[in-house]
Amino acid sequence: MSDLMACHECDLLTQIPPLPKHGSAYCQRCGSLLLSSKPNSIERSLALALASLFLYLVAISCPFLAMQTGGFEQQSNLITGVWLLYKQKMEGMATVVFLTCVLFPLLQILGLLYVLLPIYLKRRARYSVQIFRFVQQLQPWCMMEVFMLGILVSLVKLAKLAQIIPGPSLWAFAVLIVTSAAQLTVLDTHDVWDALGDSDGNH
């Protein structure tokens, strides 16, 4: 069965036939890419989401950085970093970091798992349509890579004052950025909406 899709560039409605493996559909008017086939999309996205959850737990629970100076060592993790910002009267910055680097990424990972795992098991979870829409709306607000860039800039400056020892959390956080981006790249939202029985979800 073919689906009707509106072009994101010129709004032309086009009937999309079933695509072959690695096939793509383009707008007949402007030539923009409408849809591309991503084989095993659900399985690959689910595996990456599970890996992201494991990396997230490591990133939250393990030491992020340690500073050594004059024989004294101080460790910190993501949560203590947010708390230190709050204690330094930077409530706005602390809130932004907590939402975009702690809360929103967790909600995105859990939301994907909630939707994709039942689909993989040939089932459909309750409220999965609403949750998948919410996950898609969260995507622009997950800014872990911006936080990591800030950390790298800080490391360059602090390296002149003390010895900086990266912790397991820092490495897990870096890999988490990659897996989170990959899980959304390999995910075929068209397949998800078809599985959820909502053909208008990706238009």
- Binned at pLDDT 50, 70 and 90, residue 147 comes out as low
Domain locations along the chain: 1-37, 38-196
Q: Which of 5-19, 59-73, 149-163, 168-182 has the highest mean pLDDT?
A: 168-182
Q: Among 18-22, 53-57, 79-83, which range has the highest average pLDDT?
A: 53-57
- Residue 37 structure tokens: 């086939």
Indicate the pTM of the whole model. 0.74
Helix runs in the chain, H state only: 41-61, 78-87, 91-98, 104-120, 128-138, 144-158, 168-186, 189-196
**pLDDT (0 to 100) of residue 200:** 45
pLDDT in tens, 24-76: 677 777 877 666 667 788 899 999 999 999 999 998 888 877 676 666 666 67
For the chain, percent of residues with pLDDT exceeding 70: 73
- How many other C-beta atoms are found inside a 10 Å radius of the C-beta of residue 11? 10
Q: How far is CA 162 from the centre of its chain?
A: 33
Q: How confident is the model at residue 108 (pLDDT cuts 50, 70, 90)?
A: very high
The one-letter amino acid code at 179 reads T
Picking from 8, 26, 38, the residue whose alpha carbon sits closest to that of residue 191 is 38
Q: Are 179 and 51 in contact (CB under 8 A)?
A: yes
pLDDT number for residue 199? 45
Asked if pLDDT for residue 150 goes beyond 60, the answer is yes
pLDDT tens string 91-106: 887 888 888 888 989 9
Beta-carbon neighbour count of residue 81 at 10 Å? 19
